[in-house]
Amino acid sequence: MLTEDEVEKLHRAGELVREGLEYALNHVKPGMSVLELCAKIEQNITSKGGFPAFPVNVSINDVAAHYTAEPHDKLVIPEKGIIKVDVGAHVDGYIADGAVSVVLGEEYAGLALASLEALKKVGELMRSGVRLGYLGKVVEKTIVARGFRPIENLSGHKIERYNLHAGKTVPNVSSLLSGKALEGEVYAVEPFATNGVGIVVEGGESHIFRVTSMKKLKNRDLQTLLRDLWLTYRGLPFASRWVYEKWREDGVERLYSLVEMKRIHHYAMLVEAGGGAVAQFEDTFIVGKARATPLIGVVELVK
């Protein structure tokens, strides 16, 4: 079970994510720099005593997830499309994870609504003892009823301290998964809807990294950076942008060497396999006996 202090930290993290998503909803416009969008939201989190739990993800149209601006990124928000902004914040390792889809051009409004409605329904059903596979069925039915497909190989996830993906998942399709949500557990729920085939595949570079092995290296410069990255991000994902700001050009070069030496994982961008547009809304919940408490309040935020 969570202590009062832990619950308080989770809520503070949730508030920082909420501010980031609110900023995205109010400011994402055609022509806006993706680099500035990421930096603004991350700076707000750190200025208020939190830390980003991962780099702000800005995923456009058929990119479902895993893109953050690289150093000097020139990418801008397009005239039309569906823009997923996914924000994570932590306070002392207690993580909130949330996302909204910003619709530019009416043609994606229905798609966004399908994902939002699925999140709302799961939020109402989430409680101690609920079967996670059943929540997946609800997501699937809700999205299919609106004429779209859920993305079957992306899912929500249990969260623990400094651990974004702590084993149990909340699927986005009907599943025989027998696991149940239990009181005091924390879950991110993120229904993805698409007008494509309903599967994501790996695309280009995400510019998002994570330390996956601390096995010692002979090269002293590389060993030093590996240790610093581990101590700084505590096993959570980080951006090459952040490495550039702290360790400059040299650091980024070493970062890529560490990827080659399999000490660091470079995530791939996740792209819809049929080239379909993708919508995502996400909130993080503390599971209670009779209901769940959202940390961010995404459903209220987008109303």
- Residues engaged in binding Mn ion (CB under 5 A): 86, 97, 99, 188, 282
Q: Does residue 282 have an active-site annotation?
A: yes
Catalytic residue among 6, 73, 282, 283: 282
Residue 77 or 298: which CB sits closer to Mn ion?
298
User: Rounded to the nearest whole angstrom, what is the least distance from the CB of residue 233 to Mn ion in the complex?
Assistant: 16
Would you say the C-alpha torsion 255, 269, 69, 39 has a positive or negative sign? negative
Q: Does residue 250 have an active-site annotation?
A: no
| CA-closest candidate to residue 133, choices 113, 112, 116, 155 | 155
Residue 84 or 121: which CB sits closer to Mn ion?
84
Q: Does residue 86 have an active-site annotation?
A: yes
Catalytic residue among 152, 190, 272, 283: 190
Residue 102 or 188: which CB sits closer to Mn ion?
188
Catalytic residue among 19, 97, 152, 272: 97
Written as one letter, the residue type at 224 is T
CA within 13 Å, CB half, 147: 6
Residue 86 or 117: which CB sits closer to Mn ion?
86
Residue 142 or 280: which CB sits closer to Mn ion?
280
User: What secondary structure does DSSP assign to 179-228, as a single string?
Assistant: -B--TT-EEEE--EEESS-S-EEEEEEEEEEEE------SSHHHHHHHHH
Measured between alpha carbons, how far apart are the two ends of the chain, in Å? 32
Q: Does residue 36 have an active-site annotation?
A: no
Q: Does residue 272 have an active-site annotation?
A: no
Residue 3: CB atoms within 10 Å: 9
User: Rounded to the nearest whole angstrom, what is the least distance from the CB of residue 282 to Mn ion in the complex?
Assistant: 5
Written as one letter, the residue type at 280 is Q
User: Rounded to the nearest whole angstrom, what is the least distance from the CB of residue 41 to Mn ion in the complex?
Assistant: 13
User: What secondary structure does DSSP assign to 43-65, as a single string?
Assistant: HHHHHTT-EEEEEEEEEETTEEE
H or E, element range at 285: strand 283-287
User: Rounded to the nearest whole angstrom, what is the least distance from the CB of residue 112 to Mn ion in the complex?
Assistant: 16
Catalytic residue among 90, 157, 207, 283: 157
Residue 53 or 243: which CB sits closer to Mn ion?
53
Q: Which residues lie closer than 8 Å to 292 by C-beta, 6 or more apart? A: 123, 126, 127, 181, 187, 285, 286
Judge residue 290's burial from the number of C-beta atoms within 10 Å of its C-beta, 0-12 exposed, 13-18 middle, 19 or more buried. exposed
User: Rounded to the nearest whole angstrom, what is the least distance from the CB of residue 43 to Mn ion in the complex?
Assistant: 19
User: Rounded to the nearest whole angstrom, what is the least distance from the CB of residue 220 to Mn ion in the complex?
Assistant: 36
Judge residue 201's burial from the number of C-beta atoms within 10 Å of its C-beta, 0-12 exposed, 13-18 middle, 19 or more buried. middle
The single residue listed with the structure tokens 């396999």 is 273
Catalytic positions: 86, 97, 157, 165, 190, 282
